[in-house]
Amino acid sequence: MPLISLHGVSKSYPGGIEALSDVTFDVEEGEFVFLSGPSGAGKTTLLRLLLRMEVASRGDVLAFGRNLRALRSSAIPYLRRNIGVVFQDFRLLPDRTVAENVAVGLHVLGLSRRDIRRRVANTLYDLDIDRYAHHYPSMLSGGEQQRVAIGRALVMHPALILADEPTGNLDWELSNEIVRLFEELNSKGTTVVMATHDRFLLDACPRRTILLNRGMVIEDRPVPVQRTHDAAPRPVREAAG
Amino acid sequence: MIALRIAARQSLHLLGQGLKGLVVSPGQTAACILSLAVAGCLVVLSASFGSLAVQVLDRAGRSAKVLVYLKDEVPADRVKDLMARIGARPDVEAVQYVTREQDRARNTDLLPKDLAASMPPEAVPGQHGLDVTFRAGAGGTGGVTELAAFLRALSGVDVVAEPPVGAGRLRALGAAVGFLRTVVTMLAVLLLVGTLFFVVGTLTRTMERRRDEISILRLLGATDTFVRSPILVQGIFQGVSGMVLGALAALLVSGAVNAWLAAEFDVAVRLPTWPGLVLPLAVAGGTVVGVAGTFIATARREA
Ligand SMILES: Nc1ncnc2c1ncn2[C@@H]1O[C@H](COP(=O)(O)OP(=O)(O)OP(=O)(O)O)[C@@H](O)[C@H]1O
Ligand SMILES: [Mg+2]
């Protein structure tokens, strides 16, 4: 069963704007998918549907085997605990240190202080930002801030990462670095869906690419054969409650 | 077991988050608690002054009796006629005949015990007469004086004993206290409603301050309970601490008023203080304010 499955999904906003129209595709567990297309193509809207921040106007969005339209609102938090989100603008809390920013979601899980400290330390180490643990976000470069934001998502051990233009505020070299990071995570089994309109990045990292334009899928280019990963996918946590 | 520990840890974390909310705008929080205290204090005081007013009016009403002593030779049918005439007045509640023996018994009661015992019963004076009960509310203090003048002018009446001066003073005090109670109750209700919105204001401010954090928490899978309970903790803390402070202040004020009453009026009238009732009620009231405030704040702004 695919991890994500969209069937004839449309999303219209009041005022007749059709952000997505008749979108159909699947994403299997362990896949790395780029979501591409010009500004206004509907990339962000698609990610918002997957996070159940919006509900499709028509069609069905399935994630982790659940139809998101039928999801009770009390079950939404448990859906989201399987998904790590990364944004273009990082969305770090300026009055919290790097370690506190990364730890913010762990309190939701009710982990002990010791477990939180250990998980945060490991995550900061993996992302090579452990030396900034007690710094504030404003003291870091853009690339480092994005690593902190990625850390905040990864520390929750998500089965799926949704990244919305995570390299939009970074220069070429840092962008490349961030994508390598996602590829590394993917090689360990995490499914990654990354929205970007950076053509150079798409060329440098040949991956399956879903091209959107005006809300429609105009191309679904498969991953070039030489670059498949056979790592076991990260198991999906059972949604409690 | 594990679920219980997770719940305990989360509760502790959320409690901490709630208390942190108190210092988001410390000035506003302090002002909020203070005005809740004033409102709570006024509510308690108005209840206790109301109870005092009832006591005082009751006492004043009971002492507003005019004693009419009749001349010895007034016959029984003349007494009946007098009672009918007096009873017909609108400012008279009741007229009761007092025999010589009844009056003697009363006078004996007034004497010191040992003196009364040493005297022969006939040595205590006794005179027949009428107990005229003044109808409270049919007139002011002037009403009693006017009634006394009317009674004095009747033929066969020997002496008219007006109620003691203290009664009029007490009645006036009772009326003043009753008025004060109405004013204070209205003020307290207004203040409580105003303060509720003050509480809502501080909670909204905290939510505003935490908006980015809350939207991140939502994306990381925080439940409604997780996001909202710190707000509830903050609201209940403000509500309970304000109301309990107010109740304590009210107890202090009634203590002072009682000391003054004892010194100024030599009467057994006291402001009632119900510490065993007021403090639990303050806690309950504060909780209600906190819960209502949270409800309004989170309904107005999706947290
Ligand atoms: N809340 C909304 N209300 C009305 N229209 C919206 C809303 N959100 C998005 N849209 C519209 O939907 C269309 C798709 O927007 P979306 O943000 O998904 O595009 P995008 O591909 O992410 O663009 P970009 O690359 O600029 O981020 C746009 O025309 C946008 O104006
Ligand atoms: Mg976008």
- ipTM of the complex, rounded to two decimals: 0.88
B54 compared with A211, residue with greater pLDDT: A211
- DSSP letter assigned to residue B29: H
Which of A17, A48, A49 has most ligand 1 atoms within 8 Å of CB, for mutation?
A: A17
A104 touches chain B (CB under 8 A): yes
Q: In what order do the strands lie in the sheet with A191-195?
A: A83-87, A160-164, A191-195, A32-36, A208-213, A216-221
Kindly state the tokens that stand for A115.
């477990």
Please name the residue whose Cα sits nearest to atom 2 of ligand 1.
A13
Q: Give the pLDDT confidence score for residue B164 in this predicted structure.
A: 63
Tell whether pTM > 0.95: no
Q: Give the pLDDT confidence score for residue A212 in this predicted structure.
A: 96
Q: Which residue of A has its CA nearest to B3?
A: A110
For the stretch A14-46, pLDDT in tens is: 988 899 999 999 999 999 999 999 999 999 999
Q: Give the pLDDT confidence score for residue B136 in this predicted structure.
A: 60
Q: Give the pLDDT confidence score for residue A229 in this predicted structure.
A: 54
Distance CA B155, CA B71 (A): 9
- Cβ separation of B221 and A80 shorter than 8 Å? yes
Q: Give the pLDDT confidence score for residue B63 in this predicted structure.
A: 60
Interval between CA A165 and ligand 2 midpoint (Å) = 7
Residue A230 has pLDDT above 80, yes or no: no
In this structure, what are the phi and psi dihedrals at residue B139, rounded to the nearest 5 degrees?
Answer: 175, 170
Q: Give the pLDDT confidence score for residue A157 in this predicted structure.
A: 94
Interval between CA A200 and ligand 2 midpoint (Å) = 18
Rounded mean pLDDT for each run of 10 residues along chain B, 303 residues in total? 84 88 87 91 84 71 76 87 87 86 82 78 84 67 74 86 65 74 81 88 91 94 92 95 94 89 75 86 94 91 61
Distance CA B103, CA B157 (A): 16
Q: Give the pLDDT confidence score for residue B61 in this predicted structure.
A: 60
In this structure, what are the phi and psi dihedrals at residue A161, rounded to the nearest 5 degrees?
Answer: -115, 130
Indicate if ligand 1 lies below 6 Å from the C-beta of A20. no
For the stretch A79-100, pLDDT in tens is: 999 999 999 999 999 999 999 9
Q: Give the pLDDT confidence score for residue A57 in this predicted structure.
A: 96
**For A93-97, A103-107, A155-159, A170-174, which range has the lowest pLDDT when averaged over its residues?**
A170-174
The separation between CA B96 and the C-alpha centre of its own chain, rounded to angstroms, equals 34
CA A80 to each of CA A33, A159, B190: distance values in angstroms, whole numbers, following the listed order: 19, 10, 45
Residue A241 has pLDDT above 50, yes or no: no
For the stretch A104-131, pLDDT in tens is: 999 999 899 999 999 999 999 999 999 9
Q: Is the four-CA dihedral B247, B249, B251, B254 of positive or negative sign?
A: negative
Q: Give the pLDDT confidence score for residue B156 in this predicted structure.
A: 86
Mean pLDDT of A126-143: 94
- Cβ separation of A81 and B7 shorter than 8 Å? no
